[in-house]
Every structure is written in structure tokens, then in C-alpha cells.
Amino acid sequence: MAVDYDPGLIGKVFEITDPVGVSAEDIRKFCAAMGETNPLYTDEAAAKKGPYGTIVAPPSYAVTFRNGRHFFTHVPRYGRAGLDAGKDIEFHAPLRPGDKVTLSSHVKEIYEKTGRSGSMVFVVVRSTVQNQKGEVVAHIDHRFMNRP
């Protein structure tokens, strides 16, 4: 069975977020919540001597910018609301204190798969995270699983 969707959706940016700031305090709180002990993320003096010359956020901080909104609007739904099935992330520039970050998102792919538990429709949304200089911080592919 082919999945029914508008092919014009694929690749079209449907959302660009307002800039979100990243402060040293935000990074400290994230590290505390994650139990990070890596000095590159937690120790200003050690991080100064490291590759970035300052504290940077752990890479997985990049997935936190959809605060409070797990599911994208303007994305096709099939049956029950999409569950987070997984992510694929390419990391580029590090997140530094003082950065202002935007996300632009488009639907990358929609496909159907049949598993042991029946038919599933996957909607892959790609978000590009950029800093205030326009550098790409990360490309994040969110895989949402829908059950028709």
C-alpha cells in the first residue's frame, strides 16, 4: 500500500524558529541533568586549553531546541500521533555560550514499513540547527512513527 501524501511537502521548509539563546548557565544545567563530567563541557579553565578555547555544550544539547513541543505541526499524521522512533544527527560547529540558535525544518521522507506489529508510516523531519553566524551546528533527522 502506498502512503498518501502531497509530494510538494518533501524538501519544503515549513518552519523557521525564532532564535533561542544558549548561556553558560543553560549549559551548566544541562550538564548537571546529564551527569556530564567531561572538563570540555564543565570546567572553564580546562576548556580554555582545549580545542575550542571555551566551554562548549555536549553534542546532544543540539536536540533540545524544540522545547515543550515534541511534535511538529504542519507535518502529515497517520492515525495515532507520531512517536519518537529515533534520530540521526550530523554534528558540525560546537554550541558555545552566547550563541543564538535557529532551527529550520522540512519533511525529508515519508515511507511505510510493515513490522511484526503491523503497518507503520514513518515521517522523517530534518531540522538544521544554525548559530547566529549562519554556521550549521547540526542536521537532525527526526523519525516519527505513526500507526494508521
What residues numbered 15-34 form the site for another protein, per CB under 8 A? Answer: 29-30, 32-34
Q: According to CB under 8 A, which residues from 105 to 124 bind another protein?
A: none
Half-sphere exposure of 17 (CA within 13 A, CB side): 21
Instruction: List the x/- string, 85-104, binding to another protein by CB under 8 A.
Output: xxxxxxx-------------
- Report in angstroms how near the CB of residue 8 gets to another protein at its nearest: 28
Return the number of the residue (9 or 141) whose C-beta is nearest another protein.
141
Contacts with another protein: how many residues (CB under 8 A)? 30
Burial of 42 per CB tally in 10 Å (0-12, 13-18, 19+): middle
For residue 70, what is its C-alpha cell?
Answer: 515534541
Window contacting another protein (CB under 8 A); options: 3-11, 66-74, 105-113, 118-126: 66-74
Would you tell me which residues interact with another protein (CB under 8 A)?
A: 29-30, 32-40, 50-51, 58-60, 63-64, 67-68, 70, 84-91, 143
